[in-house]
Structure 1
């Protein structure tokens, strides 16, 4: 399966059919997860539940189509469909359940609205961060509690922070990670990972393993082996590339399993 990471969001959309036009921002992350809509002139946000993701690679530009259910007070009230190609919206629509009305949507280019700010809605928690130099990370929880944290700063000429949504500890709940180019040559990315705790309903920073046997310090180029429930990292040490393997204990602590040179 191809994992699709959104590089430019939110997308600013306006209706082009169905009477008086309305405006909205639509936010989403990796593979369409963490999605929500915020209508201009209205308070609050509307969660979107992913129904499907379709990837087409018939041309030089990858086309991804998402379908989400609009969920208000636990009820599905409509459906959004959006096709993204090269960080542009090629087609979008909204189906309103109460009267069966279909609204066509189109992207509005407004760079001031974007300004590098990114947001996800995960487990009812609104997460906000910047892709640029601003290091602040904000968690707005459903119980009206707001928590703020600082993400690592940049020592790279390419200051681009990326967010990704995945189940990083294999417990069935999506977590969130943020990555930036390494401070050296920028050949790999270093990750900061927050795990969602379903008991406390809070996001908690995943501590970096402290094991002298590991060939990489910190989380570098993180990938997941979902089948074997392993977290993998890769980095360059001296003239060699190294792959490191970690596994979670029963108490949800990450432990080192092995390190070996990467095959050329």
Structure 2
């Protein structure tokens, strides 16, 4: 397999694809008029393609992931082959696929289901990386920076836009911002969170946004007013079986811990503190 140096932002560990964030730009091979698109995903969720010249991204649905670890004994990395289904205006219209390994990607294609035609692509290296990333969840766009800046812009399908600030990246800017798509309030619907790690690597601070299926809006999750806690969600852990969120933080030399649940109305409340 040909190794290809790419403009590609990949974080995480190949063995754990749910911890992976990727943002890639591709250019067609062999077409009279070049086709350009950007593809992004977070693990197996939040995936999209955005064609150059188009005003909206197209959501992708995860289809499969094949992990080839046959050469691990000889010191080679895993080769992860992803396949995504294109869903345009509610209809399945095609399939994207590629194989990635640390800081490389190859065998990129798009198969158009209407006529079975397969388009080949390569990485577009014409632009440098500016730190920008995007996730697409419930057709809502989240524009953020993995590096360099701390702003977040949320764009809803009806055109409403909201801008706010996320937890600050560390001053040395060596540690990236990660994105996670999980059910944080245990209502069966995916939510989204962003995390940054402090300079010492001991505290991970999260910005969590909960999706309301009735309003179709995202609301930032905050700790209960007046309750003890870390002030924000740090070192956040989910216990899906018990439907609990737990956080830890330092106070001097001591570590403090707090556990939360959600009531029937979806409000978060403190159930245990370990001080």
TM bin, normalised by shorter chain, reads: 0.7 to 0.9
Change over 3 Å in CA distance of 1:147–1:32 after alignment to 2: same
Show the counterpart of 2:168: 153
Contact 1:209 1:254 in 2 (8 A): yes
Normalised by the length of structure 2, the TM-score is 0.81
The answer to whether structure 1 residue 178 and structure 2 residue 190 are counterparts is: no
The answer to whether structure 1 residue 134 and structure 2 residue 146 are counterparts is: no
Contact 1:12 1:108 in 2 (8 A): yes
Change over 3 Å in CA distance of 1:105–1:152 after alignment to 2: same
- Match 1:227 to one of 241, 250, 257: 241
Q: What displacement does 1:120 show?
A: 1.3
Give the paired residue count: 256
Q: What displacement does 1:2 show?
A: 3.5
Mean CA deviation greater in 116-125 or 56-65: 56-65
Q: What displacement does 1:175 show?
A: 1.0
Normalised by the length of structure 1, the TM-score is 0.84
Change over 3 Å in CA distance of 1:93–1:247 after alignment to 2: same
Aligned CA-pair RMSD: 2.6
Q: What displacement does 1:206 show?
A: 0.4
Contact 2:150 2:169 in 1 (8 A): no
* 3-state SS of paired residue (2:114): coil
Change over 3 Å in CA distance of 1:79–1:41 after alignment to 2: same
Contact 2:152 2:164 in 1 (8 A): yes
Change over 3 Å in CA distance of 1:73–1:208 after alignment to 2: same
Q: What displacement does 1:205 show?
A: 0.7
Contact 1:211 1:256 in 2 (8 A): no
Show the counterpart of 2:27: 14
Contact 2:22 2:40 in 1 (8 A): no
Q: What displacement does 1:80 show?
A: 0.8
Task: Give 5+ residue unaligned stretches, structure 2.
Answer: 1-14
Contact 2:258 2:273 in 1 (8 A): yes
* 3-state SS of paired residue (1:4): helix
Q: What displacement does 1:93 show?
A: 1.7
Contact 1:50 1:68 in 2 (8 A): yes
1:202-254 CA deviation, whole Å, 9 max, x = no partner?
0101012356654x442112121222212122334443445432211112122
Show the counterpart of 2:41: 28
The answer to whether structure 1 residue 187 and structure 2 residue 202 are counterparts is: yes
Q: What displacement does 1:111 show?
A: 4.7
Show the counterpart of 1:68: 84
Cα distance in structure 1, aligned partners of 2:18 and 2:123: 20
Cα distance in structure 2, aligned partners of 1:121 and 1:212: 33
